[in-house]
Structure 1
Amino acid sequence: MALLWIGLATTAMADDGQCLIKFDTGAVNWRTGNIHVTGKAAPVVGPDGNPVSMPGLAKTHAIRNIIATLKQIRITPDLTVGEYASTNDVILAGIEKTAQDATITRKLYTSAMDVEMEMTANFLGGFLQLVLPDHIRQIPKISDQTPKAGEMRPVAFPIGRAPYSGLVIDARGLDFAPILYPTIVEEQGKEVYSSVFVSREFAVQHGVVTYSCQMSSALSFDRIGTNPLVLKALRRGKDKTGALVVSLADAKILEKATERHKFLKECRVVIVTDAAILAD
């Protein structure tokens, strides 16, 4: 069967640390926030008896798949977007708008006039504004200015240590699937990274965290700068938050870094998890 591709501006899914979660309806790229789906449509018989391709139906099918995929994304381990939005018409409308705003990346026409259409949407921005918890609020701007006379000066960095520019959590081997709102705690349950530290502006624009499935790739992300602090997650919490747990010693390293206030506020955090998986 002959195939004809129309449009080649596809999004690469190379093995460069991008974490793909695949559902029956599409795939979520947790590195970029992109949703990748395919819509299909069979031809109809025209007045002259010949088959007529139906790209509009293929697009409608793709949009339905985007909506279904968005609803399967998990906000927390025990809460999907679909569950959260089920009683909220505003969120449901926002999900539909995200799908309607998707971009057509490729079209395929067969010799039998079948149509296959690939589309890409993104969950950063407006979609996150709707689904992130309300307790993630705006944090006032952190000043980098030199203190005025009589004001306390910031604590100097220890001799020989450059300031940390971001945070990397190594969660490989813990079967930790990406979620929109992860939390990180130390062994005694004290929060290390959560809504308390995050400014909503940055969380909406960039995500609370980004994900990588390769440590080497994660360390190259502009998001965490040139000198990120890398901590190993010991395990997942047993409560419904499924928080990642780091050691007390590692938590103290972060706590002593005064610059953490700025890079945590700006969501300069990457979680390295295992290779792409197929969702249940």
Structure 2
Amino acid sequence: MLHHFRMIIALAVLGCVIGLAAPAAAQVDWDKGRITAVGIGTSPMKAMSSAQRRAMALRCGTIDARRKLLETVKGVQIDSVTRVEDYMVSSDRVESRINGMLSHSQILGAREMDDGSVEVTVGMNLHGTLAELLMPMEEPGSATNAPVNTAPAQSRQVEPEPLAGEQVASLAPVDPIPAQQPSGEVSGLVVDASGLGARPAMSPRLYDEDGNEVYGARFVSREYAIQQGMAGYAKDAQSALDNPRVGGNPHSIKALRVAGKARTDLVISNEDAAVLRTLAANEDFLEKCRVMIVLD
């Protein structure tokens, strides 16, 4: 009987693999730092009991959901030029680790449908183990390169995008621009990128108008970046200002335009950049990733 049950389960898994016509239902919640996916499972053959039928449908639904979760994870943008899939293709170790995480992804819910199928929701965090595997290994004050060209696309010739992992921004000193300083101790940073068509990423960057990097992986504590992400995202300015991540007195700036192939990096004015550098020299809100970005 046990052997017969195992054979039924094996056939159920095979049925899940060849019967995946249901539309994908997966999403990345950048606000909460979580990826979720929904799968539908049905029993591929007549079961010996209703409990066995439901168990096989649940198994199929879980396999379907995790397949969709994998496809969504592959498309997550790490930085302006690199997606998770790029790392998986270039590294067997990364691919193996991610597949292992997916096979143990949490089942968040399961409900039986009227037709006997089972809808399964699975999820995994963007932060923690996944971020530790994928976040750039950059240290504060690491080697510098020439500033990146952040001019609007319509006013310059198209130039080749930097390769994945290439250091493209400069940490060289920039002449300060007089600007009004925020009052009181600053607890975080809110960057309003609404209306620009910016997109979220695990490792976004801020540049000044001259292409010098103001915020990125080399400006943060890797521990904080892994545990909570380099930046949080919100859909409106008030939600960003009220988010506990940036504390009670965040400094707010408006992005001028997007940069990078994937539109995940932002350009701020030289004046705002000068103020931010001064604040960051005396306080640790950037190091602790206390940054919120407002998207459309």
Same fold (TM over 0.5): yes
Q: Secondary structure at the match of 1:267?
A: coil
Shift of 1:137: 6.6
Contact 1:63 1:99 in 2 (8 A): yes
In structure 2, the residue matched to 1:119 is: 122
In structure 2, the residue matched to 1:204 is: 226
Where in structure 1 do 4 or more consecutive aligned residues deviate above 3 Å? 47-51, 136-139, 238-242, 258-261
Change (3 A) 1:43 1:260: farther
Q: How does 1:245-260 map to 2 (within 5 A)?
A: 245-258=267-280
Contact 1:164 1:260 in 2 (8 A): no
Which of the residues 91, 94, 118 maps onto 2:94? 91
* CA–CA distance in structure 2, aligned partners of residues 212 and 160 of structure 1: 22
In structure 2, the residue matched to 1:146 is: none
In structure 1, the residue matched to 2:39 is: 39
Contact 1:137 1:200 in 2 (8 A): no
Contact 2:141 2:218 in 1 (8 A): no
What one-letter code is carried by the residue in structure 2 that aligns with 1:91? V
Tell me the TM-score normalised to structure 2 length.
0.72
Count how many residue pairs are aligned between Structure 1 and Structure 2: 234
Shift of 1:241: 7.5
Shift of 1:272: 0.6
In structure 2, the residue matched to 1:64 is: 67
* CA–CA distance in structure 1, aligned partners of residues 262 and 39 of structure 2: 35
Question: What is the CA RMSD across the aligned residues, in angstroms?
Answer: 2.7
Equivalent pairs: percent with the same residue?
30
| Residue segments in structure 1 that go unaligned for 5+ positions in a row | 1-22, 140-157, 275-280
Q: How does 1:234-273 map to 2 (within 5 A)?
A: 234-237=256-259, 243-258=265-280, 261-273=283-295
Change (3 A) 1:164 1:203: same
Are residues 1:133 and 2:136 paired? yes
Shift of 1:75: 0.9
Higher strand share: 1
Shift of 1:138: 11
* CA–CA distance in structure 1, aligned partners of residues 35 and 289 of structure 2: 21
What one-letter code is carried by the residue in structure 2 that aligns with 1:194? G
Shift of 1:40: 1.1
Shift of 1:67: 1.5
What one-letter code is carried by the residue in structure 2 that aligns with 1:214? D
Change (3 A) 1:192 1:52: same
Tell me the TM-score normalised to structure 1 length.
0.76
Are residues 1:27 and 2:27 paired? yes
Larger RCO (alpha carbons 8 Å, 6+ apart): 1
Are residues 1:105 and 2:108 paired? yes
Shift of 1:235: 0.6
Change (3 A) 1:129 1:136: farther
Shift of 1:30: 0.2
Are residues 1:190 and 2:212 paired? yes
| Residue segments in structure 2 that go unaligned for 5+ positions in a row | 1-22, 143-179
Change (3 A) 1:261 1:239: farther
Q: Secondary structure at the match of 2:272?
A: helix
Higher helix share: 2
Shift of 1:239: 6.3
Q: Could you list the per-position Cα deviations for residues 97-116 of structure 1 after superposition, in whole angstroms to 9, with x for gaps in the alignment?
A: 33233222221212332111
Q: Secondary structure at the match of 1:265?
A: coil
Shift of 1:79: 1.8
In structure 2, the residue matched to 1:52 is: 53
Q: Secondary structure at the match of 1:56?
A: helix
Q: Could you list the per-position Cα deviations for residues 157-208 of structure 1 after superposition, in whole angstroms to 9, with x for gaps in the alignment?
A: x999211111111000110010111100111111110122111111111101
* CA–CA distance in structure 2, aligned partners of residues 180 and 43 of structure 1: 38
What one-letter code is carried by the residue in structure 2 that aligns with 1:28? V
Q: Secondary structure at the match of 2:286?
A: helix
* CA–CA distance in structure 2, aligned partners of residues 160 and 103 of structure 1: 43
Contact 2:31 2:234 in 1 (8 A): yes
Shift of 1:255: 2.1
